Structure 1
Amino acid sequence: MKLSTYLMFNGNCEEAFTTYQKVLGGKITAMMSHEGTPAENDVSPDWRKKIIHACLELDGQMLMASDAPPDRSSGSMRSVYVNVMVKEVAEAERIFKGLSEGGQIQMPIGETFWSKSFGMLTDRFGTHWMVNAEFKNG
C-alpha cells in the first residue's frame, strides 16, 4: 500500500507543480488537462485547459494534484485528499468500503478511464480519501 497527498488547486496547478519541481527536484511525470479526456464536457469551456491530473515523483514518492472546478471544490487546499494506491481491485474495494462506513461517498468506486477502480469519499472523521487500484497504463 502507498499513501500520497493529492492537492486541489483553484486553477493554478500547472504553475504550482512547475514551481514544486524547480524547488523540490523530482520529475513531473503527468500533467494532463481536462481537454481531450472523457471529462472534458463535464467542465465549463474556460476550465478545459486546467489540469485534471498532475504527478510529481520525488525519491520514490508521489505528490499529485489537479485543478478543482469551482463548483466541485470548497476552495484551495480545503479539498486535500489522502490518496491510497493498491494493486488489486478487490483490495481497493475493501478499503473503500471500510473508510466509507458512516461517511459520505462523493464518487462510488468503479472503473474509470485511468484506473481499474477509483472512488472518492469523506470518512466519518472528515478526512477526504481517494482510493485507486493500479493505473491502467502504469
Structure 2
Amino acid sequence: MTIINPYLNFNGNCEEAFTFYKSVFGGDFVSLMRFQDAPGHQPGSAHANQIMHVSLPVGSHTILMGSDRPASLGEGAFGDNFSISIGTTSQAEADALFHGISADGHVTMPLDNTFWGAYFGMCTDKFGINWMVSYDPNALPAS
C-alpha cells in the first residue's frame, strides 16, 4: 500500500496552525521539533523557536506534517495550488471536521449532497490551506 502524507510549510505560524488542526482532528503530536533543537543550531537566531518538523495523525493511515520555512532556507510564495481531501466514515464526522477546519476561514462550497452521490464541501482554513471534506456512502472501503 502506498501512503501519501501532506507536508505543509508555513511562514512562522506552523505551531499556531498545528495547534488548531489538533483541536479539529484530536490526537497528539507524534513529533514536534524546533530549529533550536537541531545539532549545530546557532543560538539566538530569529527562527530558533519555530517548528522544524511536526506530525499529527489524522486518520488510521494518514499523518499531517509541517514546518516553518525561515528566510534562511529560502522563504517562498505560499502555494494555493492544492487541496487536502478528507474522506470520512459518516455524515456526522464530515460535519464536525468541516465546521472545525473552516472556523475563521472561508467556505467556498458548503457541505451538501452532490449529484455524484457524496456529501461534500470545500473551504479554505484561516491559514490559507484549501480543504475538501467528503462522505460518500457508496465509496469502496480503503484496503
TM-score of the two chains, using structure 1 as the length reference: 0.50
TM-score of the two chains, using structure 2 as the length reference: 0.48
Larger Rg: 2
